[in-house]
């Protein structure tokens, strides 16, 4: 005769119920998170593309650091503009650019392509490289370290084919005081004169090194030269030092009107290390793009 099996007591039954409840709850939470992640993936990508597009347009000065469109008038000054009928036209009002217009102008006026270590150009298609995957996979490493380096052509679709290219944008990255930092440098077709810059992703100290993304400091870059003139004021793209130097103090006080001043910008009070990091980032990245920039400079001279 078999002995009767012991019945679980009430406490054991409650523990079992609690465990089952937690398992079911965890499963439901995981399912909800999975659905949310899938649902939000596309909006997040759109937001990233919008931010990337806006920051590049800030570097090209199509958008001001304050968020409104701008164009260059006959006197060479940048003034507010509105986007109407596919064109930017001067405006008396400073109206923030809509997300839709930012993406539209970016896609119409910014064209990505690739260059190698000899400055030879190609397209993503010809190089059999997936643009989206390449852009994501190599951001942290640095595009300038790749065999094929990404660069962006700024075009004005209303100009003739020979004069459509109004500049180039080079992605810049380096190691800041606390973490990696990322930005853009826009240069005129001569491969030398700076149109503008933006630093959009960094962990620098707010109020100090964090000023690299501030409108005032970024306004110091337009007109600077990435090829430093020699003592006689002339540029030899094959031998002139390349980069932009952030000095300690003010350029006007430290360098005056010397050739070095054309490739230098004022430092930020209390942020010497960040300034050094920015200097190194420009130097390292531009050195990798130098063969392409030399060709652009020489071609510009031929046009003149």
Helix (H, G, I), strand (E, B) or coil at 153: strand
Integer Cα distance of 164 and 281 in angstroms: 29
Contact 170, 188 (CB under 8 A): no
| Bigger pLDDT: 72 vs 8 | 72
What pLDDT, on the 0 to 100 scale, is given for residue 42? 44
Q: Nearest to residue 242, comparing CAs of 215, 263, 257? A: 263
Report the alpha-carbon distance of residue 164 to residue 109 in Å, rounded.
10
| 35-63 per-position pLDDT tens digit | 655 554 444 555 566 778 899 999 999 99
What backbone phi and psi angles, to 5 degrees, belong to 242? Answer: -115, 140
Domain boundaries, the chain: 109-303
Report pLDDT digits (tens) over 216-266: 999 999 999 999 988 888 888 888 999 999 999 999 999 998 999 999 999
Section 141-158 average pLDDT: 92
Q: Which of residues 18 and 227 earns the better pLDDT score?
A: 227
Residues 80 and 94: beta-carbon distance below 8 Å: yes
- For residue 175, how many C-alpha atoms fall within 13 Å in the half-sphere facing its CB? 1
Q: What is the pTM of this model?
A: 0.81
Q: Yes or no: say if 170 and 143 are a contact pair by the CB < 8 Å rule.
A: no
First-to-final CA distance of the chain? 111
pLDDT tens for 228-242 read: 988 888 888 888 999
CB 178 within 8 A of CB 189: no
């Amino acid at each position: 005769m078999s002995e009767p099996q012991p019945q679980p007591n009430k406490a054991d039954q409650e523990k079992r119920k609690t465990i089952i409840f937690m398992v079911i709850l965890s499963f439901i939470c995981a399912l909800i998170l999975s659905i949310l992640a899938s649902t939000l993936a596309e909006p997040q990508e759109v937001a990233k593309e919008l931010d990337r597009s806006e920051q590049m347009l800030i570097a090209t000065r199509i958008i001001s650091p304050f968020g409104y469109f701008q164009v260059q008038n006959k006197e060479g000054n940048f003034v507010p503009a509105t986007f109407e009928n596919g064109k930017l036209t001067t405006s008396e009002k400073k109206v923030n650019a809509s997300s839709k217009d930012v993406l539209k102008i970016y896609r119409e006026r910014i064209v990505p392509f690739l260059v190698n270590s000899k400055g030879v150009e190609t397209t993503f298609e010809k190089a059999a490289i997936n643009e989206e995957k390449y852009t994501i996979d190599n951001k942290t490493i640095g595009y300038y370290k790749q065999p094929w380096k990404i660069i962006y052509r700024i075009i004005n679709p209303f100009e003739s084919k020979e004069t459509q290219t109004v500049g180039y944008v080079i992605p810049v990255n380096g190691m800041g005081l606390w973490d990696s930092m990322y930005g853009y440098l826009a240069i005129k077709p001569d491969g030398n004169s700076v149109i503008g810059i933006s630093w959009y992703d960094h962990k620098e100290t707010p109020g100090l090194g964090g000023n690299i993304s501030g409108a005032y400091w970024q306004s110091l870059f337009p007109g600077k030269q990435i090829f430093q003139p020699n003592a006689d004021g002339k540029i030899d793209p094959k031998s002139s030092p390349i980069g932009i130097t952030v000095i300690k103090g003010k350029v006007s006080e430290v360098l005056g009107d010397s050739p070095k001043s054309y490739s230098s910008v004022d430092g930020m009070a209390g942020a010497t290390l960040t300034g050094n990091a920015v200097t190194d980032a420009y130097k390292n990245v531009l050195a990798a793009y130098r063969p392409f920039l030399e060709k652009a400079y020489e071609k510009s001279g031929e046009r003149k």
